[in-house]
Structure 1
């Protein structure tokens, strides 16, 4: 298990006004979170004060992440790749640009995201939950989960980490939100709308050891 940063190149490109998020007169934090946790239109394509404000495919945005992973991990020919919490499938679509013969699979709990996913790969995505993955043991050459598992409460985070470990062979990578100090904790509380697992890196390490998760990881910090 190693901490590998594939994601900061995207995360740090976004400017954030934390206090405005909390105090917005129309969508104050509690209301925004209530809407966002439905993972429906408001979460993906609604007002920016709720969440993404229009989650659209941007040429090359996810390709740099897919390429970095493909270069880091030693994958076989025609690798099977699973994205847990795939959303609209943009990362998986860009994986095919980097590894054209890959077998891609995605699972997400948002029927809205899947209905509005990339047309070209929609048949490779399915509705489901991270706590019960419908694949056999050691099935995938690479399993990834980005900004998903921190949305789960403890009773679901435990089985989700165990499932991720179960279906993957050697290569696994997840990215979750975290904080290293009180300022980052406050910023995370102000900005997030779906996070349930508020853990320091040390606490996340405990979760990995507790569930037997052997994959790599990185953390998103709100500095």
Structure 2
């Protein structure tokens, strides 16, 4: 297992007003979270004060992340890849453009996301839960999950990490939210609307050992 950061540049490209997120008059934090956790229109394409505020495909936005993963893991045509929590499939689509012939698969709990996914790869995506992946053992050459697993309660996080390990061969990567100090903890609490597992880096390491997860990982901080 190694710490490999593919996501910080994308994460830091967004400007965040943490206090405004908490104190908004129309969508106070509790209301925004309740709407977001339905994983429907409000989460993806509703008001920015709830979550993404319009999660649309922007050509090339995810290409640097895709290329970095391709280079690091030596992804090639014919490889089977799974994205756990694929959303609308934008990252998978970029991978398919960069490596023609790669066999992509994606799962997400959001029926709305799958229904509104990138048309070119929608047949490769399905509604499913990270706690019970509909794939055989050791089926994928590369399994990844980006900013998804921290949305699970502990009992489901345990299952999801074990499932990720089960369906993957050697190469696996996940990215989750975390905090290193009280300032980052407060910012995470202010900003997130779906997070359930609030863990320090040391606690994430504990989870990986507890569940036998052997893949790589990185952490997102709200500085």
| TM tier, smaller | over 0.9
Residue aligning to 1:175? 175
2:76–2:99 CA contact under 8 A, matched in 1: no
Which stretches in structure 1 are left out of the alignment for 5+ residues?
none
The aligned runs of 1:123-162 (5 Å cut-off) are 123-162=123-162
Give 3-state SS (helix, strand or coil) of 2:164's partner: helix
Residue aligning to 1:88? 88
1:131–1:160 CA contact under 8 A, matched in 2: yes
User: How far off its partner does 1:98 sit?
Assistant: 1.2
1:3-49 CA-partner distances (Å, limit 9, x unpaired): 10000110000000000000000000000000000010000000000
Residue aligning to 2:65? 65
Matched, 1:201 2:194: no
Which stretches in structure 2 are left out of the alignment for 5+ residues?
none
Residue aligning to 1:12? 12
Corresponding pairs, count? 223
Q: Distance in 2 between matches of 1:169 and 1:129?
A: 20
1:104-150 CA-partner distances (Å, limit 9, x unpaired): 00000000000000000000000100000011111101000000000
User: How far off its partner does 1:75 sit?
Assistant: 3.3
1:63–1:97 CA contact under 8 A, matched in 2: no
1:36-88 CA-partner distances (Å, limit 9, x unpaired): 00010000000000000000000001111110000001335411000000000
Q: Distance in 1 between matches of 2:75 and 2:209?
A: 25
Residue aligning to 2:34? 34
Residue aligning to 2:221? 221
Q: Distance in 2 between matches of 1:108 and 1:208?
A: 22
The aligned runs of 1:99-114 (5 Å cut-off) are 99-114=99-114
User: How far off its partner does 1:101 sit?
Assistant: 0.8
The root-mean-square deviation of aligned C-alpha atoms, in Å, is 0.6
- After TM superposition, the runs of 4+ consecutive aligned structure 1 residues lying more than 3 A away are none
2:77–2:100 CA contact under 8 A, matched in 1: no
2:18–2:190 CA contact under 8 A, matched in 1: yes
Give 3-state SS (helix, strand or coil) of 1:69's partner: helix
TM-score normalized by the length of structure 2:
0.99
